[in-house]
Copies of this chain bind each other. A is one copy, B any other.
Amino acid sequence: MPNSQNKITAALIIIGNEILSGRTKDANLNYIASQLIRLGIDLYEVRVVRDQESQIIKAINELRESHNYVFTTGGIGPTHDDITCESVSKALGRRYILNADAHAILKDYYDGSDKELNEARLRMAYIPEGAKLIENPISKAPGFIVDNVIVMAGIPAVMQAMFQGVAPLLETGNRIFSKSLSVMAGEGDIAKSLGELQTKWKLVEIGSYPFVKNNNYGTTLVLRTSDLKTLNSAFEDLKAFISPLDVIFEINDDE
């Protein structure tokens, strides 16, 4: 459940026609998911939407009500299809205005380059009124955080730099610990015992992920919970029923 005690949840909106047309492979979801879990923030849902105002506004408004944070990637550049900042302004009922600090950052950057801070580039300093900037050490045009919405670039290197800038500002939740093992047995061979394990350890999230290795089916089993003692006990139970079955070839104490 989102927003229960000590539980911090987030959603991610990936904005861009190029992902939905298959032209570009998204590279941001996995990075953000991996980072959030280290912060004890539970990524609850991801939506990939078009560069279309109504769709962006709908996603923002549905998700910001239910989660502590909504991250967005993409659509903050200078071209006509970059409509994230204006759409976020509308979703939040805030004015879409020239931010003086963002303006100063861009002016400083372009004054020192052979490029011009023209009207198109100046658009990148227009953001929702009241937003706090997120530094962009790479290409300068900043991201921002406004209410619980965090707006970042789509280019992975820029997004990652922005994420590292905003991470210290986020409220963090209970750290989630996990342990996993892989076994050369099909999911169907262990499903019953695994279901019983899940029934016994209700507070542990038990995931089962099949794979194929040397033409044989194997299964990776992942236990996740915020309580380390519970995790260790449940993992001992898991090993106890798995070990007679087949070769365990890997045990990971995940971060």
Contacts and interface: CB of A to CB of B under 8 A. Distances in A.
Interface stretch (A20-28, A92-100, A143-151, A162-170): A20-28
- When all copies of this chain in the complex are counted, the total is 2
Contact-size category for A: 35 or more
Contacts of A192: 118-120
A178 to B, nearest CB: 8
Contacts of A79: 187, 190-191, 194-195, 208
Interface in A125-157: 139, 155, 157
Interface stretch (A43-51, A227-235, A236-244): A43-51
A48 B49 contact: no
Nearest to A124: B188
A34 interface: yes
Interface of A is mostly: mixed
A197 to B, nearest CB: 9
A171 interface: no
Interface in A12-51: 17-26, 29-37, 43-51
Contacts of A49: 45
A7 interface: no
A8 interface: no
28 contacts: A17-B205, A18-B207, A18-B209, A19-B29, A19-B33, A19-B46, A20-B44, A21-B33, A21-B37, A21-B43, A21-B176, A22-B32, A22-B37, A22-B43, A26-B29, A45-B47, A45-B48, A45-B50, A46-B46, A47-B47, A79-B187, A79-B208, A80-B198, A80-B206, A120-B187, A120-B188, A123-B191, A124-B188
